Structure 1
Amino acid sequence: LEFRQDFPGTDVVVLEQNYRSTQNILDAANAVIGNNFDTSMSKRLFSDRGPGERITGFTGVTQHDEAQFVADEIDNLHTGGMAYRDMAVFYRTNAQTRALEDVLMRSGVPYRLIGGTKFYERMEIKDVLAYLAAVANPDDGLAHRRILNTPKRGIGDVTESAIQRFADDNQISFREAMRQIESVGVAARATATVREFVNALDRISGTVATAKVVDVLIALLEATGYLILLKESRDPQENARAENVEELVGLTREFQVKSPEGTLIDFLTEVALSSAADDLDDESGTVSLMTLHTAKGLEFDAVFITGIEEEILPHRISVAEAGGIQEERRLFYVGITRAKKKLHLSLATSRATFGDIASCMPSRFLAEIPDSLVDWRESGRRSLSPSFEKRSWDAPSKPRTEWTGAITREVRDNSGLELVIGDRIRHDDFGEGQVVAVTGDGAKRIAEVQFDEVGKKKLLIKIAPIAKV
């Protein structure tokens, strides 16, 4: 930006013609980046590809509403001839992928994460699920061994091996061997640490039968300090892991709202069904899921930018930093300009966060895009539209397109369910419908169902919340 000051008299050639995107997309990008302060060498992109389609905007009640909108739009684009490989979904933080992965998988959309790991395969999620498994089942030796020194509490491999050997010799569980740590014969410091740890596990296990799943998880995180250590770290990667753990806490909250009588075992079973689902494949490739940072330098026919809310985009940490808002705006600009033909912008009015359901405000960046460029749609479950001036939610002043895909989060084990064309089914969220096509084999079977009220949708039979009528 200081090039002209350092080299006075230099001729500056501004490259403003864009050969990738349509003009509506570029107009949105120009409007957004024009609000940054560093405009001494600004440029206004233009294209000879014509105005193109208007941008599609969507406001959902929850992140699952938003994710179902993404899945439905992807299916519509694919039905219209666009290959999965030509579509991408962007998000600001990796923690946002959980709802997207759940819904894309259930909707039979093949996807892959670029530059990241699937939610349930992330180290911190496996750690926390191992804690839950340990308090749910004291005989789960693998879970206990995983969490014994996680986070680090001074229990080394020698102590772990000694406990396992004592358990094997006495034909007792690893947990019971921990309870008898004074007889194992390890160092006094390790003995005291194991004693304190197993007492905490036993105390929390005693609450499992009556406590809510979210309360069990919060008790574990508080007793072990797992989350606070991640949040207080100066390593940004550790902070990102903390966001993933908070997303898992939010998942337990969603589970309890959906299943008030649901137990910890029920929750772990549901997670196991979701995380064990096989990757889907299609001859037209897979939809790419990635962070906005990863998206730099790439291009796709259709792009979905999700979670455009205050504290997500712009991110709450960046808001407090000097120049942070400008950098977040540039990141949004990058995401917009990755789209060649079709751009989707989406947000939710509420998200499950640490221990609660939090209201979300639309991002200030959305107010910078002219209304004439965006066709807004809304969840059919609630009549809301973003009021950008106040960054709040108001009843729409004029009719908006209503979207009929609002969902709750539900999976089940349908391994033995056989469906054929013509079968009538009932879906927990979409109501009754008729099967019009069945494709794939085994765990990858996908049913295409014409629902009476919400239209046609694809479902992964293995885990969809459906039953024959």
Structure 2
Amino acid sequence: MLDNLNEMQKKAVFETKGPILVLAGAGSGKTRVLTSKIYYLLKEKGVRKSEILAITFTNKAAKEMRERVESLLEEDVSGMWIGTFHSICVRILRRYADRLGYTSGFSIYDRTDSKTLLKEVYKRLDISDKTIEYNLVLNKISDAKNNLVFPEDYTKYYGNDFASIKISEIYGLYEDLKKEYNAFDFDDLIIKTLILLVSFDDALEYYQDKFSYIFVDEYQDTNKTQYELVKLLSKKHMNVTAVGDNDQSIYGWRGADISNILNFEKDFEASQVIKLERNYRSTSEILNAANELIKNNDQKYLKKLWTDKSSGKKPIYLNLPSDMDTAYKLVQKVNELLYKGEALSEMAILYRTNAESRQLEEALIAYGINYVVVGGLKFYERKEIKDIVAYLTIFMNKTDDVSFRRIINVPRRGIGEKEFRKGR
């Protein structure tokens, strides 16, 4: 299996000591490299499964990595630490929650739950949502947490104007109520794990000893808290394999810091940089266009993607005046392909935000073309599912006020605010 790797992939797999930055261009087989290296450590180097920590950014990527490792080893790996930053932190917090004043049955609030709690905060502080909008405050609190800024320091970093002072007050009470309700929000999971590890030496030593090898996928998309967590956990063994692409960092708007990957050699002494430049996904025409664009980046690491796939059509770039013009031009192209005998099942229209789908759907309807919107409303965002989850949460965590508020009148019981407070 390892013989099928190309030379640079082999180098990334067989280098097992010290920090390694694998700069993986698009379609270069980075997941294959990660899973092959895990396999190599377990089968050839005698490393135990419990010594490996592999961190990805999405549940889908974690599932794929786990399935590939399982397929290579031909044995169950469900107990291995392969998961997202947040799922890994949840495992740590479940074990040590009492150190931070929580119980192991703590709730995890999603955006809707946080907004519900924020309404209570506003009421207690006598603040109108017309003065400071809920979503704005949640975004500000999230940004603060991802930059390790706590309520008492908020105005120091974000200004001493009226809005910042109010957000600081809201942030403080929001945190206090979450603790009272034995709950974390999504951003808490990493920052609270950092607080735990920094505050309790025995917990830090346990995980530093445990994880001899740490793998981090999509390293270019890490934010400050994720970066600090990787540095902290890897400090003893320093066997970090970080995989990423400095030319694909597009999540700065949600806290990703490109300097994390650019400063890898400075942050991890005696590190190696290995470039995966061979592309297995695209034709040379597409790669040539990508290289022409990427070479304009003012970045530290330069890569040149290449492939032995020479046949293919040149990509077409169009600059159109409006969203509607773009939608109709795309659908017109779909219609032309249909007349040439191409199948709809072979076509896909990708768009960056959900808001863009409306124009595309209108154009498809106008041309009489059947289509499927992939995804749609997420399962766990449906009202009935959130209601069921809230009931289950209350069974585990009776102090969760947000979940209790959600279900108190589901099904409708005619319980008003006065009766609710009396019952609580």
Same fold (TM over 0.5): no
Structure with greater helix share of residues: 2
**Taking structure 1 as the reference length, what is the TM-score of the superposition?**
0.30
Higher-RCO chain (CA-CA 8 Å, sequence separation at least 6): 1
TM-score w.r.t. the length of structure 2 is: 0.32
